[in-house]
Amino acid sequence: MSLIASTTPRRNAIALPSLDAIGAWVLAIVWISPLMFAVWAAFHTPEGALSFKLSAPLTLENFRVAWDSAPWPRYFLNTVLLVSVILAGQLTLCTLAGYAFARFEFPGRDVIFILVLMQLFVLPEVLIVENYVMISRLGLFDTIFGIGVPYMASAFGIFLLRQAFKSVPQELEEAARVEGCGWFGVLWRVYIPAARPTYLAYALVSVATHWNNFLWPLVVTNSTSTRPLTVGLSLFGATESGVNIAVVSAATLMVIAPLFVGFILFQRQFIQAFLRAGIR
Amino acid sequence: MHNPAADLERRRIALYGWMLLAPALILLITFAFLPAVETVWASLFSKGTIRRPSQFVGVDNYFAMFSDPAFKKVVTNNLIYAGITIPVSIAIALGMALWANAQIVGRGFVRAAYFTPTMLPMIAAANLWLFFYTPDLGVIDRITALFGFPSVNWLGQQETALYSVIAVTIWKEAGFYMIFYLAALQTISPELKEAATVEGAGRWTYTRRVVLPLLMPTTMFVFVNAVINSVKLIDHLFILTKGGPDNASKLVLYWVWEMAFAYFDTPAAATMTTLILIVLGVVAAIQFIVLERRVHYR
């Protein structure tokens, strides 16, 4: 492919894109095929799902069976609460800390900033054991707040907002001060509105990350009233050891549906959010 | 010159700064720094029983762990896991980005298809792949059967379990890394392409000599992310293999989880966690040094 391209640089504009397109399409189909097979399986009877016959009858029975065999509404509620609690905590804490790092001079600031950045590597996932002890000590075991609180002081959020605040022209702040704003007024009237795209990007990434998070919630939950969807789905797969692939597929699709529909609808914003946010 | 008013003002600003930082700092200390220190501390004590309480044993736990064949197996597995997932997913991501950036029919679909796995929880992804890996009935065995190959228990045998897990990770992560390459490609000025064409450079030369060097910072960034993910991304093990058969697909963090929450051997879990922290610390140091040299973000 590349050989042809290098010998006929002019003509590849017409001849080659098709070859590129074929490669791109093949990879795209391979990449999406696990999801496609899950869709196929979810809408067929277990026998039909494995027969791969196009004529196999369609059914919604798997969704009914899956829906009835686990407390999904509760799991959905828990996940929604969890991502909301985390996001609210992150936006508050990271805004205050990002503002401090961006606009306040004080001794030790840069050392503290490096320490904060270290948290990008000292991940909550790695510290599951000691964080579990800590959460239990604080009496937060098996609470939604307990799942969320280790993620609230997100080093990544602090870093992002610090960068956003730093790019706000100083004159805007001075104008607000002339009009009598205190530090909070300046933050509220000047910096937060100016950083709105960063907030949106960060919020989308945060919601997507924590909607999908599994290991830490698995460790600190112990009951239906706190378990998020991912943990519920893992338990569901475990109890169906008879490998009813059709029902598991239906349950999986149910779990990913809200985020997935959101992704399809806001695809451009989602991808841009991930771009803007850099790392999770 | 001493100015008491300015002095007071400076102190007031410092106080505000610390007050703004306080809530985030308290949480970071509680859930990152303190637990990290406690982990190292806990790794120096023996496992307590009712009859014999836990006592200080120095680095004995480390020696015990290094001589444990399961430890060697798990660390080797993780090195293989990292050694394959990192370069392969970066290479695929780069290819995806080049294609997703080219003028091709149905580019929107192609981009979405590449990116879709990123949106799924790893647990859900693992469920989808179970359908592929199931012996006899799974999609892979159905396809290989067409060519006369025998059925393979992909997840259930030592030779293939780890590689089956690796395939899922690559599938999940490549689209995510693609996004960063795509962003970087879009910042490359089209004039460079024209200049290269005028100079008679073919597409391959242009890609290798112009595009790849310009993508180096992105590659560095993606690489660090991929290293972190090769440590923390273990959710799919819970569904696919549970580290089995016989530790064949067990990764370091899964081993920590199992030690702590299945065998209640906290010192062993702490010892391994300390090693992970050291490795991540080295990665962090490397990244900070490289970043420091390239861009000093103010």
Asked whether the predicted pLDDT for residue B294 surpasses 70, the reply is no
Question: How far lies B174's CA from each of A111, A139, B31, B166, B170, in Å?
Answer: 35, 39, 30, 12, 6
Which is more confident, A280 or A124?
A: A124
Which among A260, A263, A235 has a CA at the least distance from the CA of A72? A235
Let me know how long chain A is.
280
Which of B113, B116, B232 is nearest residue A123 as measured by Cβ atoms? B232
Q: Is residue B125 within 8 Å of B171, Cβ to Cβ? A: yes
Q: For chain B, what percent of residues have pLDDT higher than 70?
A: 97
Q: What is the pLDDT of residue A280?
A: 36
Asked whether the predicted pLDDT for residue A277 surpasses 70, the reply is no
Tokens describing residue B82 = 């990292």
- Region A218-225: mean pLDDT is 91
DSSP states of chain B:
---HHHHHHHHHHHHHHHHHHHHHHHHHIIIIIHHHHHHHHHTTBPPP-SSS---B-TTHHHHHHHT-HHHHHHHHHHHHHHHHHHHHHHHHHHHHHHHHHS--TTHHHHHHHHHHHHHS-HHHHHHHHHHHHSTTTSHHHHHHHHTTPPP--TTTSHHHHHHHHHHHHHHHHHHHHHHHHHHHHHTS-HHHHHHHHHTT--HHHHIIIIIHHHTHHHHHHHHHHHHHHHHH--HHHHHHTTT-STTTT--HHHHHHHHHHTS--HHHHHHHHHHHHHHHHHHHHHHHHHHHHH----
- Region A184-208: mean pLDDT is 88
In tens, the pLDDT along B247-263 reads 889 999 999 999 999 98
Q: What is the pLDDT of residue A238?
A: 58
- What is the Cα–Cα distance from A99 to B24, expressed in whole angstroms? 12
Asked whether the predicted pLDDT for residue A275 surpasses 80, the reply is no
- What is the Cα–Cα distance from B265 to B45, expressed in whole angstroms? 11
Which among B117, B152, B147 has a CA at the least distance from the CA of B132? B152
Q: What is the pLDDT of residue A14?
A: 46
Q: What is the pLDDT of residue A93?
A: 95
The mean pLDDT of chain A is 83
Which is more confident, B79 or B137?
A: B79
Strand, helix or coil for residue A44: strand
Q: How confident is the model at residue A151 (pLDDT cuts 50, 70, 90)?
A: very high
Domain boundaries, chain A: 2-65, 71-277
Asked whether the predicted pLDDT for residue A136 surpasses 90, the reply is yes
Q: For chain A, what percent of residues have pLDDT higher than 90?
A: 33
Q: What is the pLDDT of residue A8?
A: 41
Q: What is the pLDDT of residue A131?
A: 93
Tokens describing residue A217 = 């919630």
Q: What is the pLDDT of residue A216?
A: 94
- What is the Cα–Cα distance from B94 to B91, expressed in whole angstroms? 5
**What are the chain A neighbours of B225 within 8 Å (beta carbons)?**
279
- What is the Cα–Cα distance from B204 to B190, expressed in whole angstroms? 16
Q: What is the pLDDT of residue A242?
A: 53
Q: How confident is the model at residue A15 (pLDDT cuts 50, 70, 90)?
A: very low
Give the best residue of A33, A125, A161, A177 to mutate against chain B (max B CB count within 10 A): A125
Q: How confident is the model at residue B293 (pLDDT cuts 50, 70, 90)?
A: low
Fold of B60-294: MetI-like fold (1.10.3720)
Domain boundaries, chain B: 1-42, 60-294
DSSP code, position A191: I
Q: How confident is the model at residue B292 (pLDDT cuts 50, 70, 90)?
A: low
Q: Is residue B192 within 8 Å of B47, Cβ to Cβ? A: no
Contact yes or no for B123 and A230 at CB 8 A: yes
Name A58's bridge partners. A44
The mean pLDDT of chain B is 86
CATH number of A71-277: 1.10.3720.10
Neighbours of B89 (CB within 10 A): 25
Q: What is the pLDDT of residue B251?
A: 93
Q: What is the pLDDT of residue B276?
A: 92
In tens, the pLDDT along B146-198 reads 887 877 788 888 888 999 999 999 999 998 899 888 888 887 888 888 888 88
Amino acid identity, residue A106?
Answer: F
Name A44's bridge partners. A58
Residue of chain A whose Cα is closest to the Cα of B254: A215
Q: How confident is the model at residue B2 (pLDDT cuts 50, 70, 90)?
A: low
Helices within A139-244 (DSSP H only): 144-148, 155-166, 170-178, 183-186, 192-194, 196-212, 215-220, 229-239
Q: Is residue B119 within 8 Å of A208, Cβ to Cβ? A: yes
Name the least confident of A156-160, A216-220, B199-203. B199-203
DSSP code, position A9: T
- What is the Cα–Cα distance from A76 to A68, expressed in whole angstroms? 14
**What are the chain A neighbours of B239 within 8 Å (beta carbons)?**
234, 237
Q: What is the pLDDT of residue A2?
A: 41
Q: How confident is the model at residue A12 (pLDDT cuts 50, 70, 90)?
A: very low
Assess B297–A contact: CB distance below 8 Å, yes or no.
Answer: yes
At which residue do the structure tokens 């000599």 appear?
B209
Residue of chain A whose Cα is closest to the Cα of B285: A118
Q: How confident is the model at residue B1 (pLDDT cuts 50, 70, 90)?
A: low
Distance between B218 CA and the closest CA of chain A, angstroms:
10
Q: What is the pLDDT of residue B239?
A: 87
Assess B146–A contact: CB distance below 8 Å, yes or no.
Answer: no
In tens, the pLDDT along A60-105 reads 888 888 888 888 999 999 999 999 999 999 999 999 999 999 988 8
Asked whether the predicted pLDDT for residue A30 surpasses 80, the reply is yes
Name the least confident of B120-124, B215-219, B269-273. B215-219
Which is more confident, B236 or A59?
A: B236
Neighbours of A48 (CB within 10 A): 18
Judge if the upstream peptide bond of residue B245 is cis by omega within 30 degrees of 0: yes
Which is more confident, B56 or B135?
A: B56
- Greatest extent of chain B over all pairs of C-alpha atoms, in Å: 90
Q: Is residue B31 within 8 Å of B37, Cβ to Cβ? A: no
Which is more confident, A15 or B129?
A: B129
Contact yes or no for B115 and A27 at CB 8 A: no
**Which residues, at least 6 apart from A83, have a Cβ–Cβ distance to it below 8 Å?**
A206, A207, A210, A211
Q: What is the pLDDT of residue A262?
A: 83
Q: What is the pLDDT of residue A13?
A: 46
Q: What is the pLDDT of residue B12?
A: 87
Name B45's bridge partners. B56
Q: Is residue A126 within 8 Å of A145, Cβ to Cβ? A: no
Which value, to the nearest 10 degrees, does the dihedral of the CA atoms of residues B146, B150, B153, B155 take? -60
Interface of B with A in 57-86 (CB under 8 A): none
In tens, the pLDDT along B153-166 reads 888 888 889 999 99
Q: Which contacts (CB < 8 Å, 24+ apart) does range A137-142 have?
A: A140/A220, A141/A220, A141/A222, A142/A220, A142/A221, A142/A222, A142/A223, A142/A226
Distance between A42 CA and the closest CA of chain B, angstroms:
11
Interface of B with A in 15-44 (CB under 8 A): 16-18, 20-21, 23-28, 30-36, 38-39, 42
Q: Is residue A234 within 8 Å of B239, Cβ to Cβ? A: yes
